[in-house]
Structure 1
Amino acid sequence: MPKYNTLSRQKSLFLLIALSFTTFFLSPISPSRAESIPKPSDAPLELNLLNKPQGLVITANTINPERLTIPSLWWAKENSENKLLDNWIAYPTTEQQAARIDLIVNQQIWSLLDYLERYNFVNKMGSMARNFGYNIRVFNYQQEPLATYTCNFSNSPDLCKIQMSNQSKLGLRQTIQEN
């Protein structure tokens, strides 16, 4: 009987070590790398820029007749499922802030989507913005933050993180982070 217990313990220990190594080596982003992703901008949403863009700020209504304006989200806006993406404001990089795009979504449609549909939208738009070197924040017209897609562009490949606000049926908000 003692020999069987020793053998069983050795197998258990081997499985535990194997699982530990597998988890360690297969984890997509180690904690130290995930910490290097900057926090989303805490600048307020400036809805007044939708009608009167200033400086290098670009909106869905900004049109350059000579060349493609970057970032270019017009195609995404027009092809957004159920017209979820209503408008957007793109801010260039400054000394204080990384380049970002504030997406304004139709709240009625957003509220009809489940978590995976919202996540898919944020991931798709974030990937598109990342190609132009921008982070995104998602808002409704009540200026409530709904989600962010933030990247560290100094790494190759880019390290990015999605944060989603999830409103429970009780009206409480919680933030869910995905690395």
Structure 2
Amino acid sequence: MMQGNFWIPKKSLPLLLTLSFSTCSFLPILPSNAENIPLPSDAPLELYLLNQPKDNIITAKTIHPEKLTVPSLWWAKENSENKLLSNWIAYPKSETESPRVDLIVNQQIWSLLDYLERYVFVNQLGNLASNSGYNIRVFSYQREILATYTCNFAKSPFLCRIQMNNQNKAGLRYSL
């Protein structure tokens, strides 16, 4: 068998391929950056906290008279296009959970957005919340999780991942 300027006997080709694959199997497998990012919280959405916040829970109606409330999402809520962001619940760090904000969006408006518009919304609010050390989850009022923005704050700069629920404009799920 003649390959360019090199002659490789037909019997040597399987041996050469075997050696190539076995050499590759000894190479170290390094973890990807995505493996270093924790999974989103699986805690249920607690909608009752919107009307009856307790302890250090912050909602869109929480106002501190002396200082700025962290995370501060009021500007984002007022400037969200078509009033997409309806409300939020911010949970402080606990023994078992990282700090997170559960965003509640207007499902009718969310369903009108295409994938890129949803991604931009999640990315912008995720960046805003992550600057205060919070992860986000996006929900409908029906408690359906629509997207998450989760970070590993132990890394510098911290690493984040966005996960989007795959739905078309009619709200029907599809898989890629």
**Could you say which TM-score interval applies, normalised by the shorter chain?**
0.7 to 0.9
Taking structure 1 as the reference length, what is the TM-score of the superposition?
Answer: 0.80
Q: Which has the larger radius of gyration?
A: 2
1:106-126 Cα distance to aligned partner (Å, 9 max, x none): 000000000000000000000
C-alpha displacement at 1:3, in angstroms?
Answer: 6.7
Q: How does 1:130-145 map to 2 (within 5 A)?
A: 130-145=130-145
Aligned counterpart, 1:160: 160
What is the count of residue pairs matched by the alignment?
153
CA distance 1:5–1:130, change in 2 (3 Å)? same
Q: How does 1:98-177 map to 2 (within 5 A)?
A: 98-168=98-168, 171-172=172-173, 174=175
Deviates more, 1:165-174 or 1:97-106: 165-174
| Kept in 2: contact 1:105–1:141 (CA 8 A) | yes
C-alpha displacement at 1:34, in angstroms?
Answer: 1.4
CA distance 1:62–1:31, change in 2 (3 Å)? same
Aligned counterpart, 2:17: none
Asked if 1:55 corresponds to 2:55, the answer is yes
Q: How does 1:26-45 map to 2 (within 5 A)?
A: 31-45=31-45
Identity %: 68
C-alpha displacement at 1:172, in angstroms?
Answer: 2.9
The CA distance in 1 between the partners of 2:53 and 2:171, in whole Å, is 37
The CA distance in 1 between the partners of 2:88 and 2:3, in whole Å, is 69
C-alpha displacement at 1:173, in angstroms?
Answer: 5.3
C-alpha displacement at 1:5, in angstroms?
Answer: 6.1
Q: Which runs of 5+ in 1 are unaligned?
A: 7-29
Q: CA RMSD in A?
A: 2.1
Aligned counterpart, 1:69: 69
Instruction: Return the structure number with greater helix share.
Output: 1
